[in-house]
Amino acid sequence: MNDSAFHYVDGVLHVEGVSTASLAKQFGTPLYVYSRDALTRAYHAYADACASRKGTVHVAVKANSNLAVLNVFVRMGAGFDIVSAGELARVTAAGGKASDTVFSGVGKSAAEMREALELGVKGFNVESIPELHVLNEVAKSLGKKARISLRVNPDVDAKTHPYISTGLKANKFGVAFSDARATHRAAHAMSNLEVVGIGYHIGSQITEISPYLDALDKVLELVEQIEADGMHIHHVNVGGGLGITYDDETPPDIDAFVKTLLDHIEKRGHGHRKVFFEPGRSLVGNAGALITRVEYLKPGKEKNFAIVDAAMNDLARPAMYESFHRIEPVSQRDSVKAHQYDVVGPVCESGDWLGCDRALAIEQGDLLAILSAGAYGFTMSSNYNTRPRAAEVMVDGSKAHVVREREEVKQLFAGEKVLPN
């Protein structure tokens, strides 16, 4: 198993102390299942490594924005990283504070800026000069000063999928590194902005520390240049992006990752600065699984298909990124011969697949667990083909709590109107 929260007991897959088969029976499928213990252990790995150091953890809400998941982190003292006003509303609904929340994103609207300033967000990660001007004007209209950290693009290859690489010159994110010093001077000159930090985010599902260190070296050199221009940088935001084990990846241990970056910053003479971490996937990815039922087994001359009730609208990552998720039977069957299957959903797209060429000993009606689905699973789900989104359940020891009810079809078009006669 990719995470000890999911394990077999007498041939049946359990999450913590609860059978996933019993969860499927009680709550139906497709079903997202999360482990509170796995969330807690992952967060403490970051927080403990930052303890007595100048590191601060801001959970990336986009990875998993369920209120119960966010509330687990709130209870442990987490801050948050958001990319929309909607995510800010989720943070506060989950008991989090705007004052512990950093607003990132390349396309914040003036309305979102206004709402965030009125609620008192910790700061903004700003990504362009036009955004600086809009934020300055919004802050001025409110009689406030907006605290900002410029996100620079260090042009460092994170060695990950092109769609989730964000730190190269060809990516839309951040201020070009060659323009960063001048952009800081421009921001410093704006009356309703306060420059407090600098940051970068080079990508997601990164399984090596070296790209982080390459980016750090470039950014810390830039910090020295900026301070030579008369500005003070209070914190460095190293972003998130640490990978997890989906298959055979071997990402760095969280504790080693955090300490390596903090040690490197100190060795470079910047140990007096605060350091912001913005983890997402490495907190929630292996804390979740998607449980699905086999509707049909369809043999073919070239492919065998296991057609399940989950689809690309429930878990978009395989179709979008050609990403790999381990798929395991909920109940192990010694009496059934294994065959190679493509695990596919009922959506009318050839791209609707969840796993290809998997050896599975299964029969029609069996349950499958798609592992490592806690990050960018439900948050990227949709209602394509007018399919209601899955329910979400949080397991805490021997108890299971519904943390999002399954949608009903009538909810999907409740706001729609036909034309009048």
Question: Is 30 among the annotated ligand-binding positions?
Answer: no
Query: Among positive and negative, which fits the CA dihedral 101, 276, 283, 359?
Result: positive
Question: Is 420 among the annotated ligand-binding positions?
Answer: no
Angstrom distance (rounded) from CA 246 to CA 160? 14
Question: Is 241 among the annotated ligand-binding positions?
Answer: yes
Q: Give SS3 for 393.
A: strand
Question: Is 137 among the annotated ligand-binding positions?
Answer: no
Active site residue 348: yes
73 closest CA partner among 191, 324, 64: 64
- Residue located via tokens 């003292």: 77
DSSP character at residue 83: S
Angstrom distance (rounded) from CA 293 to CA 78? 36
* Residues 154 and 107: beta-carbon distance below 8 Å: no
- Residue located via tokens 């001025």: 140
Question: Is 174 among the annotated ligand-binding positions?
Answer: no
Question: Is 279 among the annotated ligand-binding positions?
Answer: yes
Question: Is 162 among the annotated ligand-binding positions?
Answer: no
The span from the first CA to the last CA of the chain, in angstroms, equals 58
Angstrom distance (rounded) from CA 162 to CA 158? 9
DSSP-derived secondary structure for 146-188: EEEEEEEE------S-GGGB-SSTTSSSSEEGGGHHHHHHHHH
Tokens of 385: 């083909």
Question: Is 32 among the annotated ligand-binding positions?
Answer: no
Question: Is 321 among the annotated ligand-binding positions?
Answer: yes
Q: Which of 51, 170, 228, 348 is catalytic?
A: 348
Q: What residues are annotated to the active site?
A: 348
- Residue ranges of the annotated binding site for pyridoxal 5'-phosphate are 241, 278-281, 376
- Residue ranges of the annotated binding site for substrate are 281, 317, 321, 349, 376
